[in-house]
Structure formats: structure tokens, C-alpha cells
Amino acid sequence: MHLVYAHRGSSGTYAENTRAAYLQAIADGADGIECDVHLSADRQVVCHHDQTVDRTSNGSGRISSLTLDELRGLDFSGWKGRDLPAAYGTVHEQLLTLAELVHLAAGAGRPIGLAIEIKHPSEFGRDLEDAVLETLDGLGWDAAGSTIGPVDVSFMCFDAGSIRHLAARVPAAALCQLVTRENPGKIQELRDCGDRLGAEVAAVVYGSARDGVPVIEAGIAGLAGPGVAWVREHHDVVERWLRAGTRLRVWTVDEDADIGFLTGLGIQEMTSNHPDHTRRVLEHGGARP
């Protein structure tokens, strides 16, 4: 069976990491939802992708420099250009804390996965991971099975150090090491143009194969999370992992050709911006319906 995770919610339809995107993902029948987490200035675990709010809101600044109340005052949905149905909340209800997203997932009325991507580098260091676990503990997280009621929780990161840190409390089956191709030229380009933060983020992301593949092959992470391009370039490695019993959660899978390719390999999980479309294609055997 192939599982489809909604990438930052149904982010092809509504603004990523918003209440609307997650409610739409549930309505679309996604098997799981994926979120990104940071700590706000007042150490609240919030769902947002970038280190700054500049790209996805009408504000500016780093997530870590803004309090939850300040973040609530921003519009995180307007940039998408889609009207919000009343049932999906107001503009200022779109930013979610991790706890709010867990409650939303638990209300889906069916078992559902929640994949939490921990974003590094973080000014809070490993306090970010610890705050995530503390939040989940407060919601009744069963560490042994990594569940909260009907919600199956997994943790993802490009930073291999994060996965190693989480492994002290989280079973390997719930840990996903993200992997993408190396791109040292991009890191240097960002440094050259003075984007220090961008270069730091890129160094983590583009160093993930070097540092993360050993984490997967040592069994510390029971889930491997490569991008589609990495799978195409390293299908021999992927096939070896599959033979060894490693589950793969591949991102970001929106194109029919990629869905068919991954289905043929036997990939178990796919993350998509359009989970409804990816699910329909899979139901037709990986071919366009």
C-alpha cells in the first residue's frame, strides 16, 4: 500500500503550513500531513517552513525573533491569492502551533500520520527538538509507538545530528532522515551575495546525503526521505534500502511520471503538494487516470 502525505498540507491549493491547507489535506483523503516547525521568540513550537516570515506573510523578520502573538497578527494566507472558506478559519487563525495541528489531525475521524520536519539551523539548537518532544508529551504521546490516539507521529530532518539526538527517545521506525543531492555551488553563491542565513540553511540541506546516508544505513533512522531527483540518481542505493526493509518517504511527488517511476520501484510513501491528484494516480496503478 502506498501512503500519501500532504506536503505542508494541501499546499497546491491553500497557503503552505496553514490551517486551511491542513483541513483541505484531510478532506482530500491524505494518509498523512507534513509540517515544518520552529521556535518563536517565546519558545512556542509553530508550524512554518522558512526561518523568516518574509516569503509567506505580510511581515518580515525571523520566526525566532517574533512572539506567538506577533506571528498571529500576520497574514500567512494572502500571498496564495485564494479565498478562505469560513469553515477553514479567519486570516489570523491560519498560523498553527504544533499542539493545534495535532488536535486538528486527531479530529480527522480516521487514523492519520503527522510528519514533523524539524528545521535547522536553529538559534535554539537542540532545544527545538526538546520543545517538540515536550509538546507531544503534554498531549499524551506514546513514545514506544510514537502515537497520540489515532495520530501516527514521525520526525524528519535534513540535519543528521537532529536525528541522532531524537533517537534517544524516538523509535527508529518514527525517524526519517531527509536526503538531497549536494550543491556546494549554491552554498557559495549565497555566501557571495551576502545571504548568510540562506547559506547556513543550504549547508544543512545540501550536506544531508554526506551525513545522513550513514544514519539510514546504521538503522538509526528507519525511514529514508530522499527527493525524487536523488532517487533517480541513486536508484541502486534505494533498491538496496528497500531490500533491507527500510521504508522510503519520497518528496515532492506531484508529476505523473514521478508517481509511476516511484511506484515501479516499490516506494511505500510519497509526499505531495497535491495529495488528491497523487492518490488518484496511485489508485490507477501509477498511470494517469
Say if residue 263 is exposed, middle or buried (CB neighbours under 10 Å; 0-12, 13-18, 19+): middle
Which residues are the active-site residues?
Answer: 7, 49
Report which of 16, 7, 50, 21 is spatially closest to residue 253, judged by C-alpha positions: 7
The answer to whether the Cα torsion of 239, 245, 178, 257 is positive or negative is: positive
> Hey, which residues does 112 pair with through a beta bridge?
151
Give first-to-last CA distance, the chain, whole Å. 18
Report which of 166, 99, 102, 101 is spatially closest to residue 128, judged by C-alpha positions: 166
70/149 Cα distance (integer angstroms) = 31
DSSP 8-state symbol, 84: P
Report which of 83, 120, 102, 87 is spatially closest to residue 35, judged by C-alpha positions: 102
Report which of 9, 11, 8 is spatially closest to residue 25, judged by C-alpha positions: 9
The DSSP-derived string for 256-278 is HHHHHHHHHHT--EEEES-HHHH
Q: Where are the beta strands (DSSP E) in 74-145?
A: 112-118
